[in-house]
Structures are given as C-alpha cells and as structure tokens.
Structure 1
C-alpha cells in the first residue's frame, strides 16, 4: 500500500491484473487502490485484451489530470479518521491527490472530525482548493477552484444538522468495502456461513439507508448499486461452493457441510470479489 501511496503522491496511478488463481489478490488490489488505479481479475490470458481496452478507454477519456484537493481546517478541528484515501497532513492543512478524472468520474473525500475547545456559537470556515490540469490537444491548461464552507459550533444537539444523504451513502460505501473484503477472507478459510453473514449484514444496512424517507435520489441509486454488487457476490460464492461440492445452489446446508478443499471455481470467486471491492476504495 505504501508503494501505491508514493506513486499517487507523484501523480502516478497503477492498475493491477491478477491472472489465474494463484496470487495474493489483496496485495494487488491495495497497490491499485492506494494509487487510485483499478484492480482486474482474469481467469486466463485470453481475457487480457478486454482489460487493456478498458484501461486505454480511461486514458483517452481523461478530462483532468494531476488533480489535487487541499483542505484547510479551522483551529479547534482535528482529523480522527480518513476513509479510503491517502492524505498528507501538515498542521491544519490536508493535501489529497485525486489523480485523473475521466468522463463521468466522481470522487469523494470523507473525513471524521473532532472538535477541540471551540466555543458554542462560534463561526468558522473550512477552505477547500481544487487544482488540476485539463488536457487540450498537446497542452495542459491549469484549473483552480476555491470554496469556503461555513461552520457553526454548537453544544445544543437539537441544532445539529442531519447527516447529508450523499455523505451517508459514502460512509455506507466504506462499510460495504469492509464487508466484501471480510467475506472474502472468511470464504477463503472455507467459512461460507461467516461470509454470507457479513454480506447479509451489509445488505441490511444498505437497504435501511436506501429506505430512509430523506434519501436523496442520487444517493439511493448508488445504494441500490451497492446492494446489487453484494447480492451478486453472495450468489457467486454460493454457486461456486455448490459446484465444487455437488450441491444445489439453493442448498446452503449442503455447501456448509462440505469439507472439500477449495477448487479453481471457488478460488476464482474469491478473486472476483476483490475486483468488485476495488471501486469502493477509490
């Protein structure tokens, strides 16, 4: 992961490809995610051309490169957690490399903050600067944008703003990433029941967020995409296990009683899970 972080700080994105089933998918996926690249899984070399086509398509549709977000926090605000991104912090200033934006691309920064000694009623601002270079022919045109976000401190719970639906979706996306990876580890250990338990827990959380009365339509669409990925992953794991054990895909107890060693189809399902998880870490 540190190699990927260093690459990203140098405005380099690394995409990784795992071929067949005998490799460590987590290492390749972490390298790609940390550098804002993609991780791909292919069963054999015949699938490589399609991966190269996807990567090339991203290159030719680049709308902005060397993108960076700089966030200046007011005094009294501390960062307690950064979700799924490499960040450089110096004092109250955060520098976040965002890499390349392709057509239709959307990237987010999610921070957990804590207040330290700010007085109730005090007004402050968070300064946000976005810089990038826009490809135009053989040249790159600088782009700079600034935004000030007003913040009011309060000790009255009733005055607190509700969590923004898009922020809630982004937080749920991080939890979905954890569920996919946790289920993958359980599955590789032969524990299909634990893998399904983690996926079901994530599905319930996604469904609850999507059903919220104040759910934003855009956020709801993204949550539905999360649910689709989780359901597809669950079906894929069960089908692969059933195929290896000679069980019906709907007979979970048969698959859980099966003690045979993982076969290629099951290993491939675990590798595919990491490919599904990768976009959630970008």
Structure 2
C-alpha cells in the first residue's frame, strides 16, 4: 500500500514510474544493441525473441535486418557435390518436389551459399534434436551419433540489466572457439579421427581476410602449375618443329652423299688390272 502522505506529493509513485521508465529504456537499448550486432554480420540467419518472448527469425545483409518468411523442415538428405560451399548442400522434399538448399551451422536452410575452395572446408554441423553430428572435410562427409548430447534451454529468471551484454564464448553456438589456442590442430582431419577432436579452425573461414589469402595462395599455385604445363607444351611443340625442319635437310644430305658415292669409279679386279699392265708393257 502506498503511504498516505504519497497521495499528497506522489513521491513513491513518481519513483516507481521513473524506475519502470529507466528499465524500459535499458531494455530498449539492449535490444537495439543486439539488433545492431546481428546486422553487422552479413548474410546470416538468427533466432531471437521480442519483448513478449515470441520467437523472431531475422536475416542480416548490408547492415540491414530482414524478417523472412520461413517454413519448418523436419527431414533432408545430404547432397554430395564436387564443388564446395561455406554451407552444406542438401536436398529437401516440399510438396512432392525435391529442392536443393544449403544447411547453415545454426540449422537454417537457405537457397544460396558462397562457393569456396575445398581446402577451406573443415567443420561440423550439430543436429541436437536428432542427436547427430555431420562432419565435413573438403568433399568428404561423415555422420556421427551423439547419444550423450543433452539439449537444454537457458532461462534467466533473475538478471541485472546493467551488467547484461551480448558478448559470449563461441562454444555456446558452435561448440568450439576460433583462437590461436587450436593452432596445433591444423593438420587434423576430423572426418578420419574421433569426432571430439576439434576441426581446423585456423583455415576454417575464421575471417574473410584469411579466407581470401588462402584462396589467393591456392589460385597462385594453380596458375603457376598451369604456366608450367603451358611451358612444357610449348617446349614440346618447339622441339617438334625443329625436328620437322631438320628432317628434310638431313634426308637431302643423306641422299646427296649416297649419290656422290655412286659416281666414284669402280675398282677393277686384280686379274684385269694385271692383263692391262702386261699389254702396255709389250
């Protein structure tokens, strides 16, 4: 109950109103900051909630957030391709029609994905509802059962708005962290070893700059190999042309030499030579 004196000055009521207004402003500021953070990541899908706790799916591109129309899909099949993409190619059946889509690491299906060099692909997708993990290294894909995975939702019944922030460890979302700590894991192929060994995050599209550097290096190596092949081909063609030009010259030389040898006087037999010498002496 409000104090009787508060009906005169409304001091307590004003304090409650001001505190409520400050809490609303803090909530709006936190929610706005969250949206700005989500918008800063390009071409990504997220699941968040509004002030009433309703699930909200947003898509970010060019620092703008969109609310796409989504359809829940329960089953899909993995699509094996020779071309590698950042996301996993899958096939989905909708209205008795198969559609090619891409599965993101946070379990969204979308119709587009960026093509990358296959050496950059070393990651995994965790399907908590199915207790499965899909490990992908290049074009190689393996599926592991995760019987010990327990799915939990995080609820914050009591929290301090002034201390809340949206910076958290990446293990909450991906299960592993992009850091120098895993630098020694560079040569581990997660598809051939135990699932719990971490994939190679050092080259796993940890940043656009790193991916571009790796792709540029691979393109340079491919270009160098192509130049070497062209040089070898040109060398073979030049040698073939030289032989083609020299072959008639050698043939004519041999022909003239044979003809010259046929014109030399024949050597007379020894008996005829002796008879000629006897005839001249007589």
TM-score normalised over the length of structure 2:
0.19
Per the normalisation by structure 1, the TM-score is: 0.19
Tell me which protein shows more strand as a share of its residues.
1
- Greater RCO (CA < 8 Å, at least 6 residues apart): 1
